[in-house]
Structure 1
Amino acid sequence: MAQEIEIEYKNLLTKDEFDRVLYSLPFPSDAETQTNHYFETADFSLKKNGCALRIREKNNTFTLTLKEPHDTGLLETHDTLTKQEANQWINEEFIGKEYTSKQLENKGINLNDLKYLGSLTTERRELNYHDVLLVLDYSTYGDTSDYEMELEAASEEIGLKTMQDVLDKFNIKRRQTPNKIQRFFTSKTKNDRN
């Protein structure tokens, strides 16, 4: 499927909170590593449209994903890339792909205006938990790292309730949590100014 609606909830964690959740629930002992490579235009056309564009590298597969706002979460549009195509994108040799190119074009964004901004690497553990996917992420980008809990649900109602239940169970404060690309941009902007 080239498109899907994603309903997810996020909460940044301290290292102690992360460890409490990790060691109290039956998460896999080994994390899977994935790297997100981020793209934007010089005038931040994607951000202005509430969108994000990335290539996710995981288990030697490469998926180009455009995330855009939707009534119930995010609309994700995907295209599979070969390793060679992913490298071309990272080297700013953009080649059109069936689904994402069409969505970008609908927003008036030209592939040739894109720039590669950098990457964020995540060590991820996933657990099916009370009808949701519960995820623990440790991410590094530039000289920054953070801990995060994500929850993906079939509905907003289930997602909100389960997230609150997990936060209460582990005595974790609800924190305003920007998504990974926003945290990446904030870190990059701060580092570019220094």
Structure 2
Amino acid sequence: MSQELEIEFKNLLTADEYDRLLTHFHVQQEQIVRQENHYFDTSQQHLKKAMSGLRIRILPSHIECTLKERSTDNAYLETTDRLSDDAAAEMIQGKGFHAPSVKERLLAMNIQPEQLQLFGTLATNRVALEYEGGLLFLDHSFYLQCEDYEVEYEANDEQTGSDVFQRFLAAHHIEKRDTKKKIARFAEALAQQSE
């Protein structure tokens, strides 16, 4: 189990801006890592109402279950448990909950793990780059019949991170756009699809 405060800043990109950043940072194909995010909530959307999110992320090297609880506008408390292939498969199929630290946090929020259900999957091609004391991510995501592009910056300090991110956007002539988290963009696309 790990628990950390994640401070992040994000901005949607156009396809052209994304391509320009890949070129600017000389990104090679082997630097792009595919990850799959499986999102969960209760039928009453308890996590969404608590401004939190729960996912199982499948990476080439490992699988993890993460609960994100909002702390401030740009910070989230993340509780993460590593999962085996079998444990992840059972959780995705709704046949058990094998993330003990995440379960403890859910119970503290009065959410029973058996109430959770998978509501969708989003795949992301991600590039991670060290940048000015933090991590810069360039993401190309695919979900439902949608795809989008995003830049994300993770920092150790909220004010410093905000300053670095604003300078980054200005230096690359990228318009500041109100950007929701991936799970929220997925949920909105799902709601529009079912209308």
Q: Same fold (TM over 0.5)?
A: yes
Paired residues for 1:96-175 under 5 Å: 96-175=98-177
- Paired positions, count: 193
Partners in 1 of 2:13 and 2:43 — Cα distance? 32
The runs of at least 4 consecutive aligned structure 1 residues that moved more than 4 Å come to none
| Mean Cα deviation higher: 175-184 or 60-69 | 60-69
| Mean Cα deviation higher: 35-44 or 23-32 | 23-32
The one-letter amino acid of 1:54's match is R
SS at 1:124 equivalent: strand
The one-letter amino acid of 1:69's match is R
Partners in 1 of 2:172 and 2:99 — Cα distance? 43
Percent identity for Structure 1 against Structure 2: 37
SS at 2:194 equivalent: helix
Aligned 8 A contact 1:36 1:57 in 2: yes
**TM-aligned CA deviation for residue 137 of structure 1:** 0.1
Which residue matches 1:23?
Answer: 23
Partners in 2 of 1:32 and 1:105 — Cα distance? 33
| Mean Cα deviation higher: 20-29 or 127-136 | 20-29
Which residue matches 1:178?
Answer: 180
SS at 2:16 equivalent: helix
SS at 2:174 equivalent: coil
**TM-aligned CA deviation for residue 114 of structure 1:** 0.6
**TM-aligned CA deviation for residue 96 of structure 1:** 4.3
Structure 2 gaps of 5+ residues are: none
Q: Say whether residues 1:42 and 2:43 are aligned partners.
A: yes
Partners in 2 of 1:176 and 1:28 — Cα distance? 29
**TM-aligned CA deviation for residue 60 of structure 1:** 4.8
Which residue matches 2:8?
Answer: 8
Partners in 2 of 1:166 and 1:27 — Cα distance? 17
Q: Deviations over 1:65-87 (max 9, x none)?
A: 00001247100001111111111
**TM-aligned CA deviation for residue 156 of structure 1:** 0.9
**TM-aligned CA deviation for residue 154 of structure 1:** 0.8
The one-letter amino acid of 1:21's match is L
